[in-house]
Amino acid sequence: MSVVDGMEFNFSWYQLLFFFLLYSFLGWLVEVGCYGLIKRRFYNRGVATQPLLPTCGVIFTLLILVLPTLGGNYIFQFLAVLVIVAVMENLSEQLFRHISPKLQWGAERERLLSGSGKGVIISLLIAGAYFLTYLVVHPLLLAFTLLLPALLVKIVVITECALLLVDFSLVVYAVRTGDAGGYQQLEENSRQSHLAARLTRAIWRRLQKAYPGIQQMSPQEQVSYPFARGVCLDKLVWVFLISALLGDLIETFYCGLVDGQWMSRSSVLYGPFSFVWGLGAVVLTVTLQRLAEKHDRYVFLAGFLIGGAYEYMCSVFTELVFGTVFWDYSEMPLNIGGRTNVLFCFFWGVLAVVWVKVIYPPMSRGIERTPALVGKVLTWVTVFVMACNGALTCAAMVRHGARSIQPQPANMFEEFLDNQYGDAYMARRWPNMIAVAPEDG
């Protein structure tokens, strides 16, 4: 159980995953139903073969965690829904583009959202549908879920997540090794083909029916594939690292020069890296690329909303997971739950304009000049090292929060954490970190 803003969150990880699966299925039903009404035929519009739309599941899981912290303020809640939906849809699109870099998908969504006025209206309607579902449908589903035996929930979650992982792996294999225009040849040779070819054929046949615009890139487009072209995973890794480093240095010098306090602003145990800045740069990069050529006011408004929501959710996440608060703006005017405020949202808007128009373009070109082999090796070595650094940091923070309740370590790993990262070390590393005391009961 976690306590945020005086509210108890009794969801276990199994229950959150159950909601993820449940809303993934409901989202799939809506998507298939809407598409069926338009095309007069049934198509599985999910990326996975199973009747699941994971993006919807992730969005609703975030809504379940974030919206209660905003109380009954429907305006802020709707703005949060709008931002979460926009960010997650963009992130999922970029993820699939990375999974299938040799493919060009149909421009159905772009045609649907063409025209700024039309796109805004449709985005508002989609966010409104999510918000209405959260307000009206979710309480009933919550009551139904609480009636289910805990063992049944665990069995469903473990089984379905395992199936989804296998399903998604097969789709990734198909789109990376198959040919959008050549699955008919696989059809003709199906009796002689092995199981992998049959699975590839079946997946391609389903994808081409559900997404008629999908096509293979031409050989000319596939040659001379540079390192980190476009907004891909390799590019985002380096955007994250560079921004995390620069963000930590900026905050350190700002606090030292303005407040006279030289302190660590890092998010991890080792190295000057601020994950909040790094992830913020990734979020702005992914969500604002479509606005890069538009007027600055559109970029500013999007950055104002997305940046404020991002900062708010970071605060909620650290409080829910680690039981700690790293910043508190309760004393500042026009603050939202002490997690962000209008002034900092304004700064996020300005930062978005500077990032999209000034900083990111040369940074992107510089990253792409890295030799492909060197870039790939450095990227994944760095990802491994930073993942270990992040995992160790999480363990140290969790143990730091639990130490006041259970001073004696329960095992050798906790003993190592106590010796290596004791309270004095954690206070030096994160002097502004405040532990949130759990409520009784």
Coil vs helix vs strand at 174: helix
Between CA 187 and CA 159 the distance in angstroms is 31
Rounded CA Rg of the chain: 23
**Which residue shows structure tokens 């829904």?**
81
Are the C-beta atoms of 46 and 28 separated by less than 8 Å? yes
Cα(46)–Cα(110) distance, rounded to whole angstroms?
Answer: 18
Using an 8 Å Cβ cutoff, are 322 and 398 in contact? Answer: yes
Average pLDDT value for residue range 297-325 = 79
Q: What is the pLDDT of residue 158?
A: 93
Beta-ladder partners of 324: 435
Q: Alpha-carbon distance 84 to 105, whole Å?
A: 24
pLDDT at 241 (0 to 100)? 92
Return the bridge partners of 434, or none. 325
**What is the per-residue pLDDT across 261-274, written as a single tens digit (0 to 9) for each?**
666 677 888 888 88
Other CB atoms within 10 Å distance of the CB of residue 405: 8
378-398 mean pLDDT: 88
Most confidently modeled of 4-13, 67-76, 167-176, 223-232? 67-76
The mean pLDDT of the chain is 76
> What's the confidence (pLDDT) of residue 1?
42
**Residue 70 pLDDT grade (very low, low, confident, very high; cuts 50, 70, 90):** confident
* Better-scored residue on pLDDT, 3 or 154: 154
State mean pLDDT over 180-195.
50
Q: For residue 2, what pLDDT band results from cuts at 50, 70 and 90? A: very low
Q: Is the pLDDT of residue 183 over 50?
A: no
pLDDT score for 230: 75
Question: Could you tell me which of 283, 300, 178, 293 has the C-alpha nearest to residue 231?
Answer: 283
Q: Give the model confidence (pLDDT) of 83-124 as tens digits.
A: 888 778 777 776 666 665 544 444 455 454 444 455 667 778
Distance CA 284, CA 310 (A): 10
Q: Residue 212: its pLDDT value, please?
A: 57
pLDDT tens by residue, 40-49:
777 777 677 7
Most distant pair of Cα atoms in the chain: their distance: 75
Q: What confidence score (pLDDT) does residue 5 get? A: 45
**Global confidence as pTM:** 0.63
The three-state secondary structure class of 256 is: helix
Which band of pLDDT confidence, cut at 50, 70 and 90, is reported for residue 432?
low
- Choose among 338, 310, 306: nearest CA to 434: 338
Selected residue with higher pLDDT from 326 and 122: 122
435-439 CB contacts, 8 Å cutoff, 24+ apart: 435/323, 435/324, 435/400, 435/401, 435/404, 436/3, 436/4, 436/319, 436/323, 436/324, 436/325, 438/1, 438/3, 438/323, 438/405, 439/3, 439/6, 439/8
pLDDT-derived band of residue 192, with 50, 70 and 90 as boundaries? very low
Which DSSP state fits 68? Answer: G
Note whether 47 and 190 are within 8 A (CB).
Answer: no
- Which span out of 65-69, 109-113, 210-214, 360-364 was modeled with the highest average pLDDT? 360-364
Q: What is the pLDDT of residue 193?
A: 52
% of the chain at pLDDT higher than 70: 73
User: H-helix or E-strand containing 434?
Assistant: strand 434-435
Pairing verdict, β 324-325 and 215-216: unpaired
